[in-house]
Structure formats: C-alpha cells, structure tokens
Amino acid sequence: MEIYNSSSNLDKVLQTFKCNRESYPGWLIVPDIIKKKNKGNIELSKDNILRHIRDEDDISIKISIIYELVWVYEKFQIPLDFHFHNYLKKFVDEILKDEVLLSKINVNLFAFIVLRLVKEARLDFNEDEYIKYTKSLKKIRLTNEQQNQLIYEEMQFKLSNFDFEEVRNKVNKWKLSKKDLNWSLKKAIILLKIGEKQRAIEELEETLERVRQLITISRNNYHLLSLEGLILVNLIQLNHHYSLTNSKDRLNYLESKLCNPLKELDFMYSRIKPFEKKSGVFVKKGFDPNKIKRTYSFSNFFESEVVDSYSILMISEEWGMYLTNSKTINEAIKNLEIIYPFYSWVKFIQVGNLKNIDDFFSRETIYKSNASSLSNLFKIIFNGIKNKENTKVELLLEILSRLYFALTKDEKKKADNLILELYKDRDLYKVNIYSIIKVLASLFERIIFDKDQIERAEFFSKVLELPIIGDPHGELKDIDLDENYFFDPSYKFEFDLDDAEGIYIEFNQKEIDRLLKILDGEKSNIRDAALSRLIKLILTKNLGREIDFRVRESIRNIILKEKSGFSYYFLESFLVQLTQDEKFQNDYIQKRIQQPIPKSYHNGVVSTGNALQVLLQDLSNVFPRFIRTKKEPHILVSRENYLKWLEQFFYWWEDQESWLLKGEKDELFGENQDLLYIVIFLKNSFLANIPLEYLSEKQKEKISEIYFKIDKNQHNIALLLIPVLLRLKIISEEELEKTFEGILDNNVEISKSAISSIYDLAVFKKYNEIDLDLSELKKEILYLFKYRKENTLLEVIRTLRYIINYAPETFDENEYLLIIKVLTTMYNDLTNGFYENSSISNDFFEIFSESTGLAAYIYKLGKSNYCNKLQHWKRISQENRLPEVRKYAPLFEK
C-alpha cells in the first residue's frame, strides 16, 4: 500500500485508496500476513492526510478521502485514535449543521462515515453521541447495506444493556434478502446471544447452503470462501452435525485461500500480551554511579498488542468467533482499556468470569471512575440481573457488590430492592448454588458495610421479612444447604452497641412469633438463622421485656437440650452470655476451661483446622478483654478458674513448644499461626486482666521463660507481650528497650509489632497498671508519623487512632497540634494522588480510612482549636465514596 507524504497530491492519494478498495479480494477477515504488512502504512498515511486535508477546499474530495480512510480502518480492524476520532466528529458535525452543504455531498459516503461514529459512540458508551448520530442517519436516505448496519448497531447497543426483549423484537422485524449473506450470518450470531439457538442454527445452515451454491459458480470468490469459513466455524462451535474432524479437509482448503478464520485468530492470539507503554519519556538508572538515563519515544500509532486485541474482540462480536483462551482474552480486554475503557467493562461482563474480576473491577478502578460511567455501568448490571435469560448472574452480582459503594443514593435504593427481591427467587439457586451463596454473602456484607447506623437498621427491618433458606414453611423451602455453605443476610449485620438506644428496627410481631417457633426445633442452619435475627433485636434493645425474656429462655432451652455444640454458627460462650443466667455461665466456664487446648502438631504430623481459634474466641468471652465496650457483658472469673486454665496452657506449651518456635511453613497450608493466636489471646485477654496476686513466683518464672524463648526465635511476636508482662512485673523495665529498637527496625514485622505495643502501654498507663515514663516512646511514634515512613505508616496511624480513642490523655496540647499539622499534609497527599506510585499504594484505602478515623477521634475531644483545623477531614468523611472513610462521619458530629 502506498504511503501518502507531503509531496503527494490528495487526488492521487484518493485514487490509490480507491483502487486498493476496489481491487480488495473480499476477505471478511483480512489475512494476518497482509494486515501486519500494511497496518503501519495505513496509520502513517492517515496522519499525513489529516495534516494536509485542511488545505483542500473541495468538499467532495474531502469526503471521498475520509470515506476511504474509514473504510480501510474498518476493514483492517484498526481502532480510531483520539485525533482521528475527534477530526471525524468535527467534520461530520459541521456538515450536519449546514443543510446546503449536506445537499451537495455524496450522501452514501457521508452516511458510511457517520455509521462509524455510531459504532464509536457505542464502544465509548457515549449515549448522547450515539443518539445524535443515529437520529441524523434516519434523516438521510440510506442504502440497503447502510440500513442493515444501522439496525445492527442498534441491536448491539441493546445487547450491551441486556435488553434482550427489545433485541428480539428488532431481530424479528429485520427482513433480509437472500443476497444479504453477511447480514444473515450476523443475524444468526445475534439470535445466539439472546438464546435463540435453534433459530440461529437454521439461519446458519440456510446461509451456508446459499454460499456454497454460489461458490460452485465462482470458486475463487474470496468473499464467499471467507463467509463459508466463518459460518462453518460457527456451526462447529455449536456442535450441530459439524466438528473439526469432519470439516478438517474443507478448513484446510479454505486455509490455502487465507479464508480459515481459526488460523487467522491463532496468529493474533500468539501476539497478544499485556500492554506496555512505548511512547513517552523513560528514566532509568545508568551504568555509572549517580547517573540516570533518559530516553524519548513518541508515536501516534497504536502498539500491535492493542490493535490485535481490538481486532480479536471485533471479530468475535461481528462474526461470532468464540473467545476460548481465557488468559489471552482477558489480556485483550484489558489492553482495550487504553482506548475503550467502558467497552472493556462491557466485554468482560459478556465473556469474563469471577476468577479474573480483580483485573477489571478492583476497588481502585471503581474509586477513580467518574460518576457518569458508574451510573451507565449500574444500568447495565441492573438490567442484566433482572433479565431472566442472562446466564452471567453470579458475575453481575459480584460486580454490583463491588460497585455499590460508589453509587448514588437512588441507585443504592434500587440495588437494595433488587437484591431483596432476588434473594426470594428460587430460580436463582438452581444453577451453581454454592457460587451464588458465596456471591450473595459478599453482596450483603458490602451493602451493609456501606450504610450508616440508621440505614443499617432500616435495611435490617427488610431483611427480617426475607425467608430463611431451607425453612420448610418458607418460600425457599426447596433450597438445601449444608452447614459449611449456609448463609443468612442477618449474619452480616453489626451495630454500634454503645449507641444501641438510638437503633430503631421495625418488625412484624407475626414474624417474631414465627422465628421463636423455629427456635423450638432441632439443631439446624435454619434455627441458627432465626436465632441470628432475634439476637440482633435483643442486642439493639428493640424487643419488649416479655419477648426478650422468651428469646433468652429459648437459648437456655437450646443449651440444655444440646449439651454441647449448640450452634453451627454462634460461639457457645456468646449464647451462654445471652442467657444472663449466672449458674449457666459458671457451669460453662468450668467446662470450657477444663477442655484441653487443641494441638496442631502430633508426632511429626501437622493438622489443620480452626479448633484452637474457636477455643480462644470462646475464652475471650470468658476472661475479661483488654478493652471492653460499655455494653459488653462481663463474667466474673475466679482465681481458681484463672489458675486452672494457666495449667492447661503450661501443659500445651510443653507439648507444642519445639514445633511452635521453629515457625516453619507447611508446603500446602503456609505458615501455622498457632503461636500468634495464643500470644494475642494472652495479651488481650488472659494476662491483661488477671489480678497480680493470683500468680505465684513460680508461675511468673514459667511465663518469663516462655517469653524469652519466643523472643529468641520469634522476636516480632515476643514484642507483643512486653506491655502485659511489664504490667504483671514478670520482666524488667529494661525489656522496654527492645520496643525502642523494634520501632526503627528494617524488618517490617518487627517494627509493626513494636509500634502496636505502644497502644497497650498507653492503656495500661491510663489505668495505672504500669508506672513508666512513655515520653520517649511517644517521641518515636510521632517522629515516624511526622516523616511518614512508608513501610510503617499504616501501623503508626492505626496505633495513634487507638490511643486517642481509648487513652486520649496520653498526648499533650503540643503533640495534638503536631498530629493535626501532619494530618493536614496527609490530607493533601491523599486527595492529590501523592501515594499512587509509592511503595504503599496498596495500602492507600486503609491509610485514608485510618487517617480519617484519627482526625475524627481528635475532633471528638471537642476542643475548638482542634476542630477548626480538622474541618476538611469532617467534610471528606461526609462526601467521600469510600464507606471506610464515611463510617467516621458521626464522630465529627459529637
């Protein structure tokens, strides 16, 4: 193909392009060998033409040249770049505004250009431009080919919106002549997409028969041979009397004519790879010290991987080729984000799967997307979920769960209502039920997390009306799930119980009576779900005294009846606490404390499971916690019970010690966390509240010995114990030096442990449990905060937030003003993308959340000079998309 340059005459260029088009053999998919050779020439010609076409006064020549450019771009499946697309829009818009000019031009050529802009608007999902250009075409006399193209574009747009019924109406009205062979194939492909498989097969077979009849007359007609290849492959894909085996000879013949679409796709598949930016300024370290090397590369051409990605997806869309290689196709869709970000979302929705969802719908992607794009995406997802013919409901529900936090209030209400209705639909659970349950659990969790306390209570009122899966008297009685997969939306609700008086949940008394009746039944998931719903009402003080008593009495009866293993879902200790029966509680404490601590290591064999975690969670409800909420139930534990469990711990330690201290990783299950679990329980519960006089010197020595062994082998874990052991006077104050050293250690795990332990020290100091000067430690943590050392920044902010929440007197006026000053700097960094390319970009959302929380707890202290300096944090807590940021908004109102 000849390249147009500055010395060429536009008329000569026009003739060259026209000659190339008219002599084109007719392949529907340009053979790869030809495309590779000419792609660069086409793009270079386009650049040169656009540079000089502005000097051309003859509108007929302009339209003809632009028509030829658009034709070759369309035929070679090359995406329009930004400048070419903008030029086309400006050129077309100027003509559409001038009726006199419109009457003088070749309307057929002009309509072809406008149709390309319709396609471009569809790929960009620019509804305004799509409507504008389709309306303009309806005012122009179109050829039969152009009318079919417009109908086809309208159906593709509807397909993207999952409007299958509208597509079905359009395709039923779409009348094609026997000569419209290409469109007959495309019609069959659309029928397939809306589930009309049999009609599609009939259309394909009829078209194939006509094409083969014509081939007998014109054996070297590349257009017909190419069409035969595409129809044949579509029939093979449908496994309808056709297979690669019985079609092998014919496909080999078509390949000799460069008309085997499978072969052409293979060539493109082999070149698809993740996009790498090759245009711009690149900086890297040079060979010599203190030298950097800059290279410059600028190009108006799309990289080959982008063009090949576009080509594969367009061929699939237009000619029905299945996209079978998921890894390659995901890369192709991802590459298309460079030019068509919204279309890449739509394409992933159509052909993607849950496994690769993070590549397209990460939290970062959604957070950065503009509101208009997200609203358009929500409409598609909403329509897709409502469409009973759609088979991608799991994927759409997962996308909706990720999208939810960034939706408008009205869209969230629509999503809530949709999910509540969908949950009751038995048909939802008929296909891949366990995958559906997993996605529903994530969806409810994310919806609930996004809501504030009042919204959460309102939503819980509606959840109370939902049937319980498997309940023989409910709408979902036919759905059967075992205890490992069972789910009820009530499991995901958490309320701020310190503010329980302000939580109002509406309910129907008949529903409460029904739930109470379920509690009389045998142990089951259904009983757990009923219990969960009623317990939420107890904890939020929404039940009257009589009903509250009946629920607690039912829990007592469950415990008496089951003896042990009261529930598949709830901790035994939690249910015992809810009875408010002192005898029950004491009996349970005696039984649970005497139970041996589960062992993961037995004679060289490591077992997996969560028995140790369950025991420690139960014991955390028995022994007082390090920090308790105001409303948290409290059980009095006797000295005898403290010491009984301590002996259990010593026995377990002696048996597991050598294995625990190795810290080895299992090849299949990774690093065992038993040592960390037990240390966290000891520091947060057992040792944090045990009265000093309960421990003998011998027991203290034993605990000290265990600490030093852990310190020698797992230093980062041992650091967590220092505050509580100082409280019990088991170790000397000199051990605190290890905390100082750990804070600045280059080992991130060591520094994080040392930093977090400062919070424990501050709380013990507040309650006069230790008598230490923490001023130097405060200086260290404020130093890290001030200079924002990246690998520990998140832990530093979180620790400061904990301290200010539970021990605000730790810091003085000047220290608070320093924290506020740094927070102001961080606000600017976080809102202006400072951390996007830093080593902590993965922690961005957590840092944003923790920083907002830190500002909120300082604001809550109520000092006007603090509050005035934190107004920007107050504002962002109210306006930001992230629920983990917005959850702190109520603190700014107190």
Residue 291: the pLDDT is: 63
Q: Would you say residue 685 has pLDDT above 70? A: yes
pLDDT digits (tens, 9 = 90+) for 488-515: 999 999 988 776 677 899 999 999 999 9
Q: Would you say residue 213 has pLDDT above 70? A: yes
Residue 280: the pLDDT is: 57
Q: Would you say residue 584 has pLDDT above 90? A: no
Q: Would you say residue 6 has pLDDT above 50? A: no
864-881: average pLDDT: 94
pLDDT digits (tens, 9 = 90+) for 361-381: 999 999 999 999 999 999 999
Beta bridge partners, 282, equal: 295
- Name the 3-class secondary structure at 103: helix
Residue 667: the pLDDT is: 44
Residue 256: the pLDDT is: 95
596-623: average pLDDT: 88
Residue 10: the pLDDT is: 80
Average the pLDDT over each of 251-265, 340-354, 656-670 and give the range with the smallest value. 656-670
Average the pLDDT over each of 106-110, 411-415, 525-529, 890-894 and give the range with the smallest value. 890-894
* Cβ proximity of 162 and 294 under 8 Å: no
Q: Would you say residue 586 has pLDDT above 80? A: yes
Angle, CA 306 vertex, CA 301 and CA 307 arms, to 5°: 70
Question: Percent of the chain, pLDDT > 70?
Answer: 94
* Burial of residue 556 (number of CB atoms within 10 Å: 0-12, 13-18, 19+): middle
Confidence band of 281 (pLDDT split at 50, 70, 90): low
> H-type helices in 451-581, by residue range?
453-463, 509-519, 525-539, 545-562, 572-579
Confidence band of 666 (pLDDT split at 50, 70, 90): low
* Cβ proximity of 875 and 884 under 8 Å: no
Mean pLDDT of the chain: 90
Kindly give, in sequence order, each residue whose CB lies less than 8 Å from that of residue 461, ignoring residues fewer than 6 positions away: 505, 506, 507
386: left (phi > 0), else alpha (psi -120 to 50), else beta?
Answer: alpha
Average the pLDDT over each of 109-113, 182-186, 217-221, 266-270 and give the range with the smallest value. 266-270
Encoded tokens for 808: 């605000």
What residue has token string 């409460």? 512
Residue 437: the pLDDT is: 94
Confidence band of 292 (pLDDT split at 50, 70, 90): low
pLDDT digits (tens, 9 = 90+) for 795-824: 999 999 999 999 999 999 999 999 999 999
Q: Would you say residue 519 has pLDDT above 90? A: yes
Q: Would you say residue 294 has pLDDT above 90? A: no
* Cβ proximity of 182 and 230 under 8 Å: no
Residue 883: the pLDDT is: 97
pLDDT digits (tens, 9 = 90+) for 607-616: 888 899 999 9
545-570: average pLDDT: 90
Confidence band of 299 (pLDDT split at 50, 70, 90): low
Residue 12: the pLDDT is: 85
881-890: average pLDDT: 96
* Residue 593: half-sphere exposure toward Cβ, Cα within 13 Å: 21
pLDDT digits (tens, 9 = 90+) for 767-790: 999 999 999 999 999 999 999 888
Question: Percent of the chain, pLDDT > 90?
Answer: 72
What residue has token string 């013949």? 253
Residue 284: the pLDDT is: 67
Radius of gyration of the chain (CA): 35
Kindly write down the DSSP assignment for every residue of 399-449, as one continuous string. HHHHHGGGS-HHHHHHHHHHHHHHHT-GGGGSSSHHHHHHHHHHHHHHHHH
0.85 surpassed by pTM: yes
Residue 7: the pLDDT is: 41
Q: Would you say residue 326 has pLDDT above 80? A: no
444-464: average pLDDT: 96
